[in-house]
Amino acid sequence: MIEIVPSILSADFARLADDIARVERGGAKMLHLDVMDGHFVPNLTIGPPVVESVRKATKLHLDVHLMIENPERFVTAFVQAGANSVSVHYEATRHLDGVLGMIRKAGAMAGVVLNPATPVAVLEEVVEVADYVLLMSVNPGFGGQKLIPYVLQKVRRLAALRREKRLALPIEIDGGVHKENLAEVVRAGCDWIVTGSAIFHSADPEATLREMREIAVQAAGVVC
């Protein structure tokens, strides 16, 4: 099932509950929350207290993306705050298998994230123990960037690895996706499609989300 996953990074943080309600009305099933520590990426955003507040404001699946160094320090706190899935960067920890185990033990889905230049090949083993894989299609840290085209080749390689290992894990893509490139992103093999500025910087986030869901369904050739 293809999901369009709004990223709140581009939402209005002074009216977060209103913006979340808009994408709920637009049919969102998941919400993407970008956590940045100013070290792993040159930006600083939110922590567990904001996830806790968002948890009280919505029943959507909360998909927390940790762009932080040594994520093992915080994964449990984000799950306890209400995260349903937590993804950590391959590049941000020495003990990736251990961190994924911590997330699962805390009760959430465990995802691994690759920066654009990190090859899919590094996932050869860990893809067996991850619940999903997030491929960054921009260099992490900011919304509103352009999708890096070669990442679609990585999506295709990961989809082939998934088939070869007979796995069902969702492929998530994050960064620079909008109405015009969405069909190509879906056809490359993505299941969870994060999009922030295309939704929240549009005149009508609810309508934009509906349109993007329609484009994705058409591109996937499925009726749901």
Report whether 133 contacts 127 (CB < 8 A).
Answer: yes
- Residue 145 contact, options ligand DX5, Zn ion, none, Cβ 5-8 Å cut-off depending on partner type: ligand DX5
The encoded tokens of residue 36 equal 């940045």
The encoded tokens of residue 153 equal 């080749």
User: Which residue in the set 48, 71, 111, 176 belongs to the binding site for ligand DX5 (CB under 6 A)?
Assistant: 176
196 is a contact residue toward ligand DX5 (CB under 6 A): yes
User: Which residue in the set 38, 98, 144, 149 belongs to the binding site for ligand DX5 (CB under 6 A)?
Assistant: 144
User: Which residue in the set 4, 9, 123, 182 belongs to the binding site for ligand DX5 (CB under 6 A)?
Assistant: 9
Residues 52, 134, 208, CA angle at the centre, nearest 5°?
70
Cβ contacts of residue 73 below 8 Å, gap of 6+? none
Residues that bind Zn ion (CB under 5 A): 34, 65, 174
Residues 88, 90, 93, CA angle at the centre, nearest 5°?
80
205 is a contact residue toward ligand DX5 (CB under 6 A): no
Listed as own residue / partner, the contacts of 78-81 with beta carbons closer than 8 Å and 24 or more positions apart are 78/35, 78/48, 78/51, 78/108, 79/103, 79/106, 79/107, 79/108, 80/48, 80/106, 81/48, 81/49, 81/51, 81/52, 81/55
User: Which residue in the set 3, 19, 24, 34 belongs to the binding site for ligand DX5 (CB under 6 A)?
Assistant: 34
Cα–chain-centroid distance for residue 66? Answer: 10
- Residue 71 contact, options ligand DX5, Zn ion, none, Cβ 5-8 Å cut-off depending on partner type: none
Report the nearest approach of Zn ion to the CB of residue 218 (Å): 25
Q: Write out the catalytic residue numbers.
A: 34, 174
Nearest residue (CB) to Zn ion, 44 versus 160: 44
User: Which residue in the set 26, 48, 141, 205 belongs to the binding site for ligand DX5 (CB under 6 A)?
Assistant: 141
**Location of structure tokens 């090859």:** 119
174 is a contact residue toward ligand DX5 (CB under 6 A): yes
**Site for ligand DX5, rule CB under 6 A:** 7, 9-10, 32, 34, 65, 67, 138, 140-141, 143-145, 174-177, 194-198
